[in-house]
Amino acid sequence: MVSHSGLITVMERAARKAGPRLRRDFNEVSHLQVSRKGPADFVSMADKRAEDTLIEELQKARPDWGFLVEERGQIAGDPNKPRWIIDPLDGTSNFLHGIPHFSMSIAVEDPFGSQGKPEITHGYIYQPITDESFWAEKGRGAWLQDQRLRVSARKDLPDALIATGIPFLGHGNFSEWSRIFGAIAPEVAGIRRFGSAALDLAWVAAGRYDGFWESGLQPWDIAAGILIVKEAGGFVTDFRGQEVNLAKGQVLAANDALQSKLHKLLANALR
């Protein structure tokens, strides 16, 4: 068994406490499709319950740490201590439609990272349906359970399978996305849109996808995934090739060979 820090144990414990309830709620959703109240209210309750469980478990372990969470926003903690960045249910639309592809994402942000500015030091993504835990610690590699993760070794775009997130009702920039899609799609083996950015990044780290791009993301969608990709030997930038700003929510991730090729296509498309 690979050894990891106590923090990863804390994150895993919290996720595995919230996971079974989320699985049960997911199995209920299919029965609710016919109810007049509709399943959307039920899903937001499932989301909230998972968030409550995660916060409760993480607070027990680190009572003075703050949170940045999807439903509740910021919960203040000691400003000199790290904070948790959490998405209890990434892939809500999938959950709502009975599609078994969603995840929980937990990251630790140190306010005084190696450069004296905020930095993600630990990331954990859990898929409750497949019971897969993707995790990383800065400088110690990325793992799926106790198996080391490496980004794919593919070097050529025609062999590459690329994931994305497609803009939808009230979210995202359609014209920007269409231009990027028009530039990348004809050059690659396929494009996939599965509906959970956290899992998209985890799958890039695991070599299942060769790359991923999306914009309009929230910090809790990507904080853990970015670290996991980097620790698996991958490269993550924004659309300008700069370090990702979590608040800006723009991500392009791949291995080193494909990152530069994808970035070139993307940059040309946005010119």
Known binding residues:
70, 87, 89-90, 221
The two tokens of residue 79 are: 């400003």
Calpha distance 252→183 (Å, rounded): 14
Return the axis-axis angle of helices 197-205 and 219-231, rounded to nearest 10°.
0
Q: Which residues are annotated as a binding site for Mg(2+)?
A: 70, 87, 89-90, 221
Calpha distance 163→200 (Å, rounded): 7
Calpha distance 70→85 (Å, rounded): 9
Report the candidate in 233, 256, 252, 58 with the shortest Cα–Cα distance to residue 150. Answer: 233
Backbone torsion region of residue 242, taken as left when φ is above 0, otherwise alpha when ψ lies between -120 and 50, otherwise beta? beta
The two tokens of residue 94 are: 């999938």
